[in-house]
Amino acid sequence: MQSLLEARDVRKSYSRATSLLSGKGRESRFVAVDGVSFSVAAGETFAVVGESGCGKTTLARMLLRLIEPDSGEIQFDGQDLLALGGEELRRQRREMQMIFQDPFASLNPRMRVGEIVGEPLAIHEPWLLRRERHARVAATLKRVGLGEDPLSRYPHEFSGGQRQRIGIARALILRPKLIVADEPVSALDVSVGAQVLLLLQELQQEFGLTYIFISHSLPVVAQVATRVAVMRAGKFVEVGAVEQILHRPEHSYTRELLAAVPELPKA
């Protein structure tokens, strides 16, 4: 399979103040992502799993250049993503979209749902007539299971699961090649989250999407991933096919994560 995205030795650190108890306040560096390398094939679901604070979200945001890495390389669709700027970067960004963890915080409460979902079109396809944009938004909302009714309503009028579907519609509207899903079901009830996972799988089949799926939950990963990277303290400690990671793990940390799961679904 051809790689859609490839990261090589990506690193990111942040400054943080040390304790003042020693008498001096100094800044030290906290390494959030420490030399991560991997590739994602077109059409697959590559999951990054690990505990909170291990660097998963920092990595996800660097892949979309929402934050800049300190060093390393990121190739997307044959281009050096870190070398792009201005109009070139804007064109490439339409092919890379993100679904955020919190469906409550990720939607602008002052905008109607039709405006939220249509905003990427307004940015990337400004030549569309209003009726054309309206038709695209309505069709996308219908595809994620919401129909046209939400168009003139506000996010607070919807449940968490419905809001996450709105977020999915916003990510889908441009028909991107890659979607980065950052803990997309962690804020939802189990049954609602299962429905959202099923929707994501259906959309992947229908539109040929590639997913990078960020999660702390191995049972969630078992349902959606083709390959899994286990992340700890900014590093990938193990990468492999989902069946191998879940049932024949090689690293002790992976085994610890598995031991903490009461009952793991069969891959």
Tens digit of pLDDT for each residue in 9-18? 999 998 876 5
Q: What average pLDDT is seen over the chain?
A: 89
pLDDT of residue 2: 78
Measured at the CA of 95, the angle between CA 90 and CA 100, to 5 degrees, comes to 95
Q: How confident is the model at residue 149 (pLDDT cuts 50, 70, 90)?
A: confident
Average pLDDT for 135-162: 92
Residue 29: both structure tokens together: 């560096």
pLDDT at 128 over 80: yes
Q: How confident is the model at residue 119 (pLDDT cuts 50, 70, 90)?
A: very high
pLDDT at 267 over 70: no
Residue 194: both structure tokens together: 């299962």
pLDDT of residue 1: 64
Backbone φ, ψ for residue 203 (5° rounding): -65, -35
pLDDT of residue 58: 94
Average pLDDT for 164-174: 95
pLDDT at 100 over 70: yes
Q: pTM for this structure? A: 0.90
pLDDT at 70 over 80: yes
Q: How confident is the model at residue 143 (pLDDT cuts 50, 70, 90)?
A: very high
CATH 3.30.9.90 fits 3-95+176-259, yes or no: no
Residue extents of the structural domains in the chain: 3-95+176-259, 107-175
- What are 93's strand-pairing partners? none
Residues 6+ apart with CB under 8 A from 224: 45, 47, 197, 200, 201, 211, 213
- Structural contact between residues 146 and 162, judged by C-beta atoms closer than 8 angstroms: yes
pLDDT at 24 over 70: no
- Structural contact between residues 151 and 181, judged by C-beta atoms closer than 8 angstroms: no
pLDDT of residue 259: 85
Measured at the CA of 217, the angle between CA 215 and CA 222, to 5 degrees, comes to 95
- Structural contact between residues 62 and 69, judged by C-beta atoms closer than 8 angstroms: yes
SS3 string, the chain, reads CCEEEEEEEEEEEEEEECCHHHCCCCEEEEEEEEEEEEEEECCCEEEEECCCCCCHHHHHHHHCCCCCCCEEEEEECCEEHHHCCHHHHHHHHCCEEEECCCCCCCCCCCCCHHHHHHHHHHHHCCCCCHHHHHHHHHHHHHHCCCCCHHHHCCHHHCCHHHHHHHHHHHHHCCCCCEEEEECCCCCCCHHHHHHHHHHHHHHHHHHCCEEEEEECCHHHHHHHCCEEEEEECCEEEEEEEHHHHHHCCCCHHHHHHHHCCCCCCCC
Share of the chain above pLDDT 70, in %: 93
Average pLDDT for 222-226: 91
